[in-house]
Amino acid sequence: MTKKLLKTGSILLLIAVFMCSAFDADAQRKRKKRKSRDEKENNDPGVSWKQKMVYEIGFGNLNFGSTFVGNIPTNVFNFSLKSKVGYKINNRFSAGVGGKFYYAFYNFPSNSGIEDFGAFDYGGLVFLKAHIYDKFYLVGEYNWTSFEFIDINFENRKSVQTPMVGIEYLNGLDKWKFGMQVLFVLNDEYRDYIPIGVIDYWLIARYNF
């Protein structure tokens, strides 16, 4: 299995953290007003289930660099997409389901005799999210993913499952929030297939939580 590079991903992670921090000042003044409104909505028996639905999209795991397939060097480019829909149980908890997509493009040297290859990985997940403090949330996911990979001369696909736990930072105005999520992958085999390995990181946009 290919060895994933951490350097590029770490740089991008730091850039994302900086962007999230910079956005904080714009939303600070409206936080108390929004919190009061959300508490009123969730405690109101007249609020419909549609008003308690939560929607989220994410872009993450952007990574590019060099690696090896077997003993053959190759350049690789990765990115990931995911979407979620959930139900806001109360002011603190939400739960739901989602889908996830990883893409990796491998560019081999022309003298290797191996054609360039794009790997499409896809799967589903369930999640539970808890608002722990101010703009910080605790996140738990259970993922089922079908990975496509190459092993020198043939393509293959394998399904792997894993729990993930992590934390996210969200900030925003009114019902829209934007931020960053970092999840730690608890299954060692799953780590072998994803771009960064130990972590799964995302820039996210969420509506209604």
Q: Note the CATH architecture for domain 7-87+96-207.
A: Beta Barrel (2.40)
Of 79, 72, 143, nearest to 108 (Cα)?
72
Q: Say whether pLDDT at 8 is over 70.
A: no
Give the residue ranges of DSSP H helices in the chain: 7-27, 31-43, 188-191
- In this prediction, residue 149 carries a pLDDT of 76
Q: Say whether pLDDT at 198 is over 70.
A: yes
**121: helix, coil or strand?**
strand
- In this prediction, residue 77 carries a pLDDT of 92
Paired tokens of 204 = 């996210």
Model confidence at 1, in pLDDT bands (50, 70, 90)? very low
> From CA 159, how far away is CA 202, in angstroms rounded?
22
Q: Say whether pLDDT at 193 is over 50.
A: yes
- In this prediction, residue 19 carries a pLDDT of 52
- In this prediction, residue 74 carries a pLDDT of 87
- In this prediction, residue 4 carries a pLDDT of 44
Q: Say whether pLDDT at 30 is over 80.
A: no
> From CA 204, how far away is CA 193, in angstroms rounded?
22
- In this prediction, residue 6 carries a pLDDT of 46
- In this prediction, residue 35 carries a pLDDT of 52
Q: Round the average pLDDT of the chain to a whole number and report it.
A: 81
Tens digits of residue pLDDT in 62-107: 988 888 777 888 899 999 999 999 999 988 999 999 999 999 998 9
Neighbours of 6 (CB within 10 A): 16
Of 18, 153, 135, nearest to 72 (Cα)?
153
- In this prediction, residue 208 carries a pLDDT of 82
Is 92 in contact with 126 (CB distance < 8 Å)?
no
> From CA 144, how far away is CA 98, in angstroms rounded?
11
Domain residue spans of the chain: 7-87+96-207
Q: Which amino acid is at 81?
A: L
